Amino acid sequence: MKSHWRFLLLVAVLVSLGNRGSLVWAEEPSSGQAMGEPSESWGQIASVDAASKMLTLKEPPEVPGQPTNFVLNEKTSITREDKPITLADLRSGDEVTVEYTQQGTKNVAQSVIVEESDTDDSPKASLEY
């Protein structure tokens, strides 16, 4: 009878540890998005290679490890101020947001949105009270 209780106690401990381990596993942060799930990256363009349809962003210091290399294809939407533009219109230094999916080892851009520039030379309105 004693061995029967020991066996039940052992089973209860193993089940408890198994459940606890799975809870800890579920709470661990993922190391990245699953394949094919859309993700977003942003930053300043370091370079554009129109021949290979590659876009490279400078790695922002506040988000180390963020993907910086993206492949563009015929389905990639590129816009500036809500108007469509081409890959040739992108310039080094442009601030962009890239929505992409990971396909194999490549980050394939679904959309590239050029952020509005703060270098507008027009006079700013001022409020006086």
Report how far residue 109's alpha carbon sits from residue 41's, in angstroms, rounded to the nearest whole number.
Answer: 10
- For residue 19, the surrounding DSSP H or E stretch is helix 2-27
Q: Where along the chain do its domains lie? A: 1-31, 39-114
Report how far residue 60's alpha carbon sits from residue 102's, in angstroms, rounded to the nearest whole number.
Answer: 20
What's the whole-number mean pLDDT along residues 31-51? 81
Q: 11 or 72: which carries more pLDDT confidence?
A: 72
The string of pLDDT tens digits covering residues 75-111 is 999 999 999 999 999 999 999 999 999 999 999 999 9
Looking at domain 39-114, which CATH architecture does it have?
Answer: Beta Barrel (2.40)
